[in-house]
Structure 1
Amino acid sequence: MPTRLESNRPLRVAIIGAGPGGLVLAQLLRDDPGFEVTVYERGEAEGDETSSLTGYRILITPELLDSLRKHLPADVQMLLEKAIGVSQKNGNRLGMMDTMCRLICRVDLAGMRSLCSVSRWKLRKALLSGSREFVKFGRVFTSYEVDGSKGVKVSFSDGESIHCDLLVGADGAGSRVRKQLLPDSSRSSTGVTTIYFKAPYTPETEAMIPWASGIMAMAPRRSMVVAYYKNPAKPYGPYDLNNIDPEDSFLMVGMGCYTNEFFNQDKHPDELTPEELKDECLNRARGWHPLLQALIAITVPNSVFVSHIKTQDPIEPWKTGQVTILGDAAHSMTPFLGQGATNAIVDAMTLAEKLKWTEEKEKETITAGVREYESSMLKRGNAAVKNSLYALDLTFAWGNTPWRAWFRNLALSFWDILTPHPANLVEPFPVSYSESNKKGN
């Protein structure tokens, strides 16, 4: 693989996929004269992914946000600030509860409480700033061929092809780039499907958030997660049960269970209408705490997203060449730790750093920088996959029967007792609408 110095031209970088990782990498390289970067996205337009998890939120560490602020172009930084949500007074905490809202354990250490809630939709909007210069929509990648001195030949479904010096697969969990690069790689189904909805965020529904920040309610073989995103520019939205605007603050409600244990057995989950999916969630919550049932009842059907949870089987290092992968293409994981998008962003920043370092130092070929990136990415990514699967197993495999769920909850309760927690955190529950209570949170 040539360096810019050797070829007297910018290094041509082609990125497949305009998700968070691919767009961050493109933004970090776009203004560097040593690189010529283009993103190829299969979607037809910038707003195509409104029905996906693009519309929800991710949690990002303050350190990662500071790094993005430091390295992204100014126009992207400005929009990024608008994507960062307002946290509750005591930060982002998670209460693990049973279905009657009895607190089992608290996840509220400083690292958790300092996490920043970022709107996926607003983040994507920020990362698409200036995209007409480097993003080509409607381009469906089909295959690549390492083409000697010409670099990598990249082919698309319309019959067109381009050449690049480095091909980066950022095309998600079903990555076609990974399938060609690593044909023996595989992903495993966890057997769990989660249904996500949004609900209106108003002063009244804000007071309904269990434990003020969010919870994971666990039942044998089922789960429910409640979280939120609060837009600093528009903290409260309308109480509209038919639609939630992408700019609006929202509650997020997710209901997980084994795919073959849906109440509605008349259709495959993918064939259920949004209203049928909402009924499915209501049926699962029969006999649960009224607050949890109420949160499901106020969800907006057209905001639904169904996720059949799979996880990447461990990938062993491969011989570095002119093709690499990042994000879910390399290490797709369960959503139970909320680290997928964050890891994709870290991958992109690491790869950009390694590419720029080798180009600036002029001591190594770009291949050496990619090799260093792949080594750190695989180590970090495989560990994140393992940890996220552990979190899913904690909810499902360890709670497959009422007795196992009881022992799991008992163990978590002891863990909570032995774990130091921040002092003087107000923890009203199950719900209060008083002004004094709101001020305490």
Structure 2
Amino acid sequence: MGIGERNALVVGAGIGGLAAAVALRRIGWSVSVLERAPIIAEVGAGLTLWPNAVRALGALDLDVTDRTVKTVSRGNILTPNGRWVRRNHPEDVGVLAIHRADLHDVLREQLPDSMLHTDAEVTAVSSDGTVMCSGEELTADLVVAADGVNSITRRTLWSGDAVFQRRAVWRGVTPPESVWPVQESLTLGRGVQVGVLPLPRERVYWFVTVNADQPNQMYADDRREVLNRVGDWHDPIPALVAATPPDQVLYNDIIDIDPVPTYVKDRVVLLGDAAHAMPPDLGQGACQAIEDAVVLAAALADDDLPRYDRDRRARVQPMAAEARDSVKRNSNTNALAHSGLMLAARFIPPKAWREATAKWADWTPPKLPR
């Protein structure tokens, strides 16, 4: 491909797409970001940045610590009635809790407005770098498909429709100071998980993950539905849900994709969820999209695009498989299986717990030229 011409089209302006644009611009490429929405903004709630993602952001000279809360993921484990199963331990790996919109803003601030194009719906992509966007034909030396789990690019040039994992999740963020202070926690019921993470400005991100028989279920009142399921669980779970405005409680099916044989096809690359959407159980989805961006830029800087494919599939596909296995464990409503899960959380030694919950955090990014 014509690497030396240094012209890229990034399809999608989510976290992965903007991170890719920042990384490519860092190595001297001309970049245009195509976003089908009328504005470039992030929807969603909170997420965790594991140490691997913090290092990846550092490779882009980005520091998000002033927009985060330092916490520990999967450190405090409770039962629905509030009984402690496991507490934070010094060997646990720390993470940064951040609102998805804040991370999106940090990336967006690195890009001039002239690079960002809204109302730009991509309807077709060819492996030669040709893109049909809002009726106009565009060409580039590289097309970065960061258009999510339902990527039109992947479904056109590869294959792989989204796979419903028979799980769904409600997410919400409380208004500032409404329920505070809180401690990070993960509460495990039979087939139900509730996570709580503090965010800056005395906000709290919470999620409730449940089994779902079919995709695209609709509820008249999502907040009421959540309270029907966990309203009698330990404090502060009911208060967090009740404090969240009803129109800000988000409901999503948990979907992923089967592994694809390559992330590169001639002048087109897959990145983020378009390449390796996985269930959220490991907390690595956004982290891996940022990693993708840094590794892609490093490979292009060395004129070795196939390295991006080799390195990323070797790292991410086993992770995605583990995330699917985690879904199976967490969705199991069998009493004996649930007891085994709780016993493991209680009695696994701290070092083994760290290795089991944070093994994907040990990653060092490649260095990017300035």
Question: Does TM, scored on the shorter chain, surpass 0.5?
Answer: yes
User: SS at 1:14's partner residue?
Assistant: strand
Distance in 1 of aligned mates of 2:153 and 2:187? 37
**Does residue 140 of structure 1 match 2:134?**
no
Structure-2 separation of matches of 1:23 and 1:141:
16
Structure 1 residue matching 2:76: 3-state secondary structure: strand
Evaluate the alpha carbon distance shift between residue 193 and residue 153 of structure 1 in structure 2; reply closer, same or farther with a 3 A threshold: same
Equivalent residues of 1:320, 1:370 under 8 A apart: no
Contact 2:65 2:96 in 1 (8 A): no
Q: Give deviations 1:107-151, integer Å, cap 9, x for gaps.
A: 6464622x22233212211212233121111111111234xxxx4
Q: Does the Cα contact within 8 Å between 2:82 and 2:235 map onto a contact in 1?
A: no
Q: Which residue of 1 aligns with 2:129?
A: 152
Give the letter aligned to residue 34 of structure 2: Y
Aligned equivalents of 1:191 and 1:134: distance in 2? 38
Give 1:254's aligned residue: 207
Say yes or no: does 1:162 pair with 2:95. no
1:324 aligns with one of 265, 269, 288: 269
Whole-angstrom distance in 2 between the partners of 1:125 and 1:39: 15
What TM-score do the two structures reach when normalised by structure 2? 0.86
What TM-score, normalized to structure 1? 0.73
Which whole-Å deviations, capped at 9, do the CAs of 1:268-304 have from their partners, x for residues lacking one? 865324xx11111111125433543233222222221
Name 2:219's counterpart in structure 1.
Answer: 272
- Check conservation: 2:68, 2:98, Cα contact below 8 A: yes
Could you say if the C-alpha distance between residues 71 and 408 of structure 1 is closer, same or farther in structure 2, counting changes exceeding 3 Å?
A: closer
**8 Å CA contact 1:82, 1:122 repeated in 2:** no
State the number of aligned residues: 353
Counterpart of 2:361 in structure 1 is none
Determine if contact 2:31/2:115 at 8 Å carries over to the other structure. yes
Residue matched to 1:424: none
Q: Does 2:288 align with 1:294?
A: no
Residue type matched to 1:41 in 2? E
Structure 1 partner of 2:179: 205
Decide whether aligned partners of structure 1 residues 159 and 83 sit closer, same or farther in structure 2, where only a CA change above 3 A counts.
farther
Question: For residue 171 of structure 2, what is the aligned residue in structure 1?
Answer: 196
Identity among equivalent positions (%) equals 23
Give, as a single letter, the amino acid of the residue that structure 2 aligns with 1:95: N
Q: Rg: which structure is higher?
A: 1
Q: 1:223 to 1:386 in 2, by over 3 A?
A: same
Of 39, 47, 57 in structure 2, the residue corresponding to residue 45 of structure 1 is 39
* Amino acid in structure 1 at the alignment position of 2:288: N
SS state at 1:220 partner:
coil
How do residues 92-241 of structure 1 correspond to structure 2 at under 5 angstroms? Answer: 94-106=75-87, 108=89, 110=91, 112-113=93-94, 115-129=95-109, 130-146=111-127, 151-156=128-133, 158-183=134-159, 185-202=160-177, 205-207=179-181, 209=182, 212=183, 214-230=184-200, 235-236=201-202
* Match of residue 21 from structure 1: 16
Taking a change above 3 Å as real, the CA distance of residues 131 and 319 of structure 1, as seen in their structure-2 partners, is closer
Q: Does 1:340 align with 2:285?
A: yes
Structure 2: 5+ residue runs without aligned partners?
355-370
2:68 partner letter: G
DSSP-derived class of the 2:70 partner? coil
CA distance in 2, matches of 1:293, 1:154: 48
Distance across 2 between alignment mates of 1:414 and 1:296? 31
CA distance in 2, matches of 1:258, 1:64: 29
Amino acid at match of 2:343: L
- After superposing the two structures, state which structure 1 stretch, 310-319 or 168-177, moved more: 310-319
The offset of 1:164, in angstroms, is: 0.8
Matches within 5 A, 1:346-357: 346-357=291-302
**In structure 2, C-alpha distance between the alignment counterparts of 1:59 and 1:108, rounded to whole Å:** 18
